[in-house]
Chain A
Amino acid sequence: MTINSRNHYAPPWGDASIIGVAGSSGSGKTSLALAMVASLNLPWVVIMSMDSFYKPLTPEQSAAAFRNEYDFDSPDAIDFDVLVDKLRDIKQGKVAQIPVYSFAKHARLPQTTTIYSPHVLILEGIFALHDQRVLDMLDMRIFADADGDLCLSRRLVRDVKERGRDIEGCIKQWFSFVKPNFHKYVGPQREIADIIVPRGIENKVAISMVTDRIQKILAHKSKLHQLELQRLGQAALEAPLSSNALIIPQTNQVRGIHTLLLNPKTSREDYIFYFDRMVAMLIEKAMDFLPYEPGQVTTPQGNMYMGLKKSADVSAVVILRGGSAFETGLRRTIPDCQTGRVLIQTNWRTAEPELHYRALPPNIAQHGLVLLLDPQMSSGAAALMAVRVLVDHGVPEEKIVFVTYLAGRIGINRVLSVFPEIRVVVARMGDDMQDRWVETRYLGC
């Protein structure tokens, strides 16, 4: 196995599970979905409402809608093509831009919301089990059942209070559209549901059955992910250190600083000072990968000098929590560096990294260099996930430089076997699979 043959890494969100929850308007689908998510309480289980996928209306349709004469409760009102596209993106672990629909304006708003990296997505809407293309992607089909009178009263309260409609209009809509459509399109979805849940959120047994099932799906995904990481570890075991890993020259100063940083007897004050100094050196080294173009300047005496000017922006992405130890040193070198953040925590039970949070600069895909900062890389699993997040957000691999203080050969090779174009700048090679201590020393806890 050589490092040149590219490996594939499937993150835990690489094959998202999708659960469809259908049911009549006012049947409590949303509360049901919310109750399931609340009981799981994990950032990678998210809800997507089909309300986002109403078709934008033409002026005539819009006028009809304001007169309550437009049929929102027919499958024709839903843009299934866009929905299917977005579900495919989510299923494949890509970034999906979800439209935002305004009920007050009956139009799609210019902004979108982003869904990225759910392991489980709950799709909730009256027609969640309607389109065959959607059904093909679902892992579980749920139908929320409720008494018709209850549905009507819930709908009235919601539309008047939350969506700014008047009561006569709502009643008109119910009898001309909602009720006939229920019998024609919504009700029949019962037949293809895996589970029919009556009484909505009051049905604690049904909710716990569904969440148990989701827990199983999640556990399975986590297991697959751990196996995936092990498999990549095997590949990295035999390979020599990749040439894309750059260890900074071990000069006397660098070795002297290592000696202070590695010594537990060094005071915290000294540790922070020397760590910041080391980081500034690492950042300078990483900045060598920024593209430059020739640029002529005139000196104050009027002489010409043919030098270099940077031809693209540089940004940094801090892998929290550890990466925050790099920020002082980073700002010493690039004070106004655009800085994104991702929180990746290693589950202490499974040793599996988990993506909890991400906030990236909006134009990161256009940057000439993206520094990924984490003071320590041991198994490389968190690094792999962080690089994958950047690649998913359109950052070309060759623009990514992973900057770290301490790394092991297997960790580096594991990341580079999947992303051979990225570069790793490291201050010191350590043993494989060391516990994380670098940022603990820096942050003091």
Chain B
Amino acid sequence: MASQPEAPSQSVGPEYRPAEEKPTATVSTGVSHENVHILPQTPQLIALLTMIRDKNTGRADFIFYSNRIIRLLVEEGLNHLPVVEHTITTPVGQTYSGVKFEGKICGVSIMRAGESMEQGLRDCCRSVRIGKILIQRDEETAKPKLYYDKLPEDIADRWVLLLDPMLATGGSALMAVEVLIARGVPEDHILFLNLIASPEGAKNFAKKYPKVRVVTAFVDQGLDEKNYIVPGLGDFGDRFYTM
């Protein structure tokens, strides 16, 4: 393993609870990039991540617990979308000055692992359109290469939730953003939803597309020599689809 900074460890739990009553666990590495949003490190989230990282967790549980994290990511991601004020009268005759969701959205999953996040997205946005992008590593150049894409015609007018559970170096995700921008999607209309990121991946994003918002559940310690996230959780697609 390449030399890596120590992973931060802290007691996790609600504020009102004294520190000695809170169990200690490894939490997300902090990053200073403004466009990277890490979910609050609640005991609940840490426990869910512990489940899906464990190699002894079976596929059914893996799918279920990843879906729970994905829904949290989607809920947080959706909060970055614009709203307009909307005042209504409640069933008991009072007024509530609320908001209405503005703007059309769509999902774009980076095949294959990104597709595993579609159900979680649909749980929150029933009939959302979902485009797909296939990016594979080119055997000769070892660089990511775009193989296939199928996106909504009017994607330029939509906010895009880009889905990929693991952000290692960010090669494929950055290429996917490139594809979206080429189709006319404004950079700041792209939200990248991701379960586990590496500090390197987060940094690469911040450098190349500082206006793309990255919403992640956890930033891990780093990458190993094969560019796998450490400690990571293995191959997300394999664990979700085939293992």
A263 to B88, CA, bound (A): 6
User: Is there an interface contact between B47 and A277, defined as CB atoms closer than 8 Å?
Assistant: no
- Judge if B3 is at the interface, Cβ distance under 8 Å: no
A297 to B86, CA, bound (A): 47
Question: What chain A residues lie within 8 Å of B64 (beta carbons)?
Answer: 335
Least CB separation from B74: chain A residue:
A253
Question: What chain A residues lie within 8 Å of B145 (beta carbons)?
Answer: none
Given contacts A255-B98, A308-B47, A335-B64, A289 and B14 within 8 Å (CB-CB): yes
Given contacts A273-B126, A299-B234, A304-B231, A281 and B75 within 8 Å (CB-CB): yes
- Judge if B114 is at the interface, Cβ distance under 8 Å: no
User: Is there an interface contact between A277 and B96, defined as CB atoms closer than 8 Å?
Assistant: no
User: Is there an interface contact between B75 and A253, defined as CB atoms closer than 8 Å?
Assistant: yes
Question: What chain A residues lie within 8 Å of B9 (beta carbons)?
Answer: 306
Interface residues of A in 226-249 (CB under 8 A from B): 243
Given contacts A294-B24, A300-B55, A300-B234, A305 and B50 within 8 Å (CB-CB): yes
Most buried by B among A256, A280, A298: A256
Question: What chain B residues lie within 8 Å of A172 (beta carbons)?
Answer: none
Most buried by B among A253, A280, A304: A253
User: Is there an interface contact between B23 and A294, defined as CB atoms closer than 8 Å?
Assistant: yes
A-binding segment of B38-46, B169-177, B199-207: B38-46
User: Is there an interface contact between B239 and A256, defined as CB atoms closer than 8 Å?
Assistant: no
A259 to B23, CA, bound (A): 38
Interface size of B in residues (CB-CB distance below 8 Å): 53
Nearest CB on B from A266, distance (A): 9
Question: What chain A residues lie within 8 Å of B26 (beta carbons)?
Answer: 305-307
Given contacts A251-B79, A252-B99, A259-B98, A305 and B47 within 8 Å (CB-CB): no
User: Is there an interface contact between A435 and B99, defined as CB atoms closer than 8 Å?
Assistant: no
Question: What chain A residues lie within 8 Å of B100 (beta carbons)?
Answer: 256, 259
User: Is there an interface contact between A301 and B234, defined as CB atoms closer than 8 Å?
Assistant: yes
- Judge if B235 is at the interface, Cβ distance under 8 Å: yes
User: Is there an interface contact between B46 and A299, defined as CB atoms closer than 8 Å?
Assistant: no
- Judge if B232 is at the interface, Cβ distance under 8 Å: yes
Q: Mark A248-279, 1 if CB is under 8 A from B, else 0.
A: 00011101101100111100000001000100
Given contacts A284-B72, A435-B92, A300 and B49 within 8 Å (CB-CB): no
> B interface, by DSSP: helix, strand, loop or mixed?
mixed
* Interface size bracket, A side: 35 or more
User: Is there an interface contact between A298 and B55, defined as CB atoms closer than 8 Å?
Assistant: yes
Interface residues of B in 45-84 (CB under 8 A from A): 46-47, 49-50, 53-56, 64, 68, 71-72, 75, 78-79, 81, 83
Nearest CB on A from B73, distance (A): 12
Given contacts A256-B98, A434-B92, A309 and B50 within 8 Å (CB-CB): yes
User: Is there an interface contact between A333 and B83, defined as CB atoms closer than 8 Å?
Assistant: no
Question: What chain A residues lie within 8 Å of B47 (beta carbons)?
Answer: 290, 292, 307-310
Least CB separation from A270: chain B residue:
B126
Question: What chain A residues lie within 8 Å of B89 (beta carbons)?
Answer: 263-264
- Judge if A67 is at the interface, Cβ distance under 8 Å: no
Given contacts A243-B16, A262-B88, A300-B233, A256 and B99 within 8 Å (CB-CB): yes
Q: Which of A258, A265, A307 contacts B50 (CB 8 A)?
A: A307
Nearest CB on B from A249, distance (A): 9
Given contacts A262-B88, A307-B49, A290 and B99 within 8 Å (CB-CB): no
Interface residues of B in 195-243 (CB under 8 A from A): 224, 228, 230-235, 239
Least CB separation from B230: chain A residue:
A303
A303 to B223, CA, bound (A): 12
User: Is there an interface contact between B43 and A292, defined as CB atoms closer than 8 Å?
Assistant: yes
Most buried by B among A277, A306, A308, A333: A308
Nearest CB on B from A374, distance (A): 17
A434 to B233, CA, bound (A): 48
Besides the known contacts A303-B230, A434-B92, A435-B92, 13 further A-B residue pairs in the complex with CB atoms under 8 A apart: A253-B79, A256-B98, A264-B90, A288-B13, A288-B42, A297-B50, A299-B53, A299-B234, A301-B224, A305-B53, A307-B26, A333-B68, A437-B91
Jot down 20 A-B pairs with beta carbons below 8 A, ordered by A: A252-B83, A253-B78, A259-B98, A262-B90, A262-B98, A264-B89, A288-B13, A288-B14, A289-B14, A292-B12, A292-B43, A292-B46, A293-B23, A294-B23, A299-B232, A301-B232, A304-B231, A307-B50, A308-B23, A308-B47
